[in-house]
Amino acid sequence: MRLRFGTDGVRGDTRTVLSAQAVAALGRAAAEILGDNAFAIGRDTRVSGAALVGAMHAGVAAAGGSSVDLGIITTPGVARWCCDHQVGGAVVSASHNPWHDNGVKFFAAGGSKLTETSQQEIQRRFDRYLTAGDTSRGLAEECQKSVIDRHSQALSNHCQALIGSIDGRTFAGLKIVIDLANGAATTIAKRVFAALDADLTVIHDSPDGYNINAGCGSTDLKSLQVAVVENSADVGLAFDGDADRVLAVDANGKLVDGDGIIAICALDRHQRAMLRANTVVVTTMTNLGFRLAMDAAGIKVVETEVGDRYVLETLNANGLELGGEQSGHVIFRDLATTGDGLLTAVQLIGVMVRRSSSLAALASNAMTALPQVLTNVAVPKLLSQNETVALRQLCAPLVDAAGARLAGKGRVLIRPSGTEPLIRVMVEAETMTEAQMEADALAEAVKLFAEGSLAASNQRSELAD
User: CA–CA separation, 105 vs 30, rounded Å?
Assistant: 11
CATH number of the domain located at residue range(s) 5-149 in this protein = 3.40.120.10
pLDDT at 138: 46
Segment 385-425, tens digit of pLDDT: 777 787 778 778 888 888 888 877 788 888 888 777 888 89
* Closest among 41, 59, 63 to 50, alpha carbons compared: 41
DSSP labels, 151-192: HHHHHHHHHHHHHGGGTT---TT-EEEEE-TTSGGGGTHHHH
List CB contacts of 222: < 8 A, sequence separation 6 or more: 215
pTM for the model:
0.87
Q: Considering the candidates 19, 48, 93, 95, report the single residue annotated as catalytic.
A: 95
Sequence ranges of the domains in the chain: 5-149, 157-366, 372-464
pLDDT of residue 226: 98
Q: What gap in Å lies between CA 384 and CA 270, rounded to an integer?
A: 40
Asked whether 291 and 250 are in contact (CB, 8 A), the reply is no
Q: Tell which residue, 236, 238, 173, has the closest CA to residue 199.
A: 173
CB atoms within 10 A of CB 137: 13
Tell me the C-alpha distance between 267 and 200, whole Å: 27
- The correct CATH number of 372-464 out of 3.40.50.1980, 2.40.128.50, 3.30.310.50, 2.40.270.10 is 3.30.310.50
CATH class of 157-366: alpha beta
Distance CA 187, CA 158 (A): 11
Asked if domains 5-149 and 157-366 share a fold, the reply is: yes
pLDDT at 462 (0 to 100): 45
Angle at 79 between CA 104 and CA 381, to 5 degrees: 25
Beta strands, E only, 265-362: 279-283, 300-304, 322-324, 330-332
The residues of the chain scoring below 70 in pLDDT are 1, 7-8, 133-145, 452-465
Q: Give the CA dihedral 360, 364, 369, 372, nearest 10 degrees.
A: 30
Does 95 qualify as catalytic in the annotation?
A: yes
Nearest alpha-carbon partner for 348 in 156, 178, 191? 178
pLDDT at 143 (0 to 100): 62
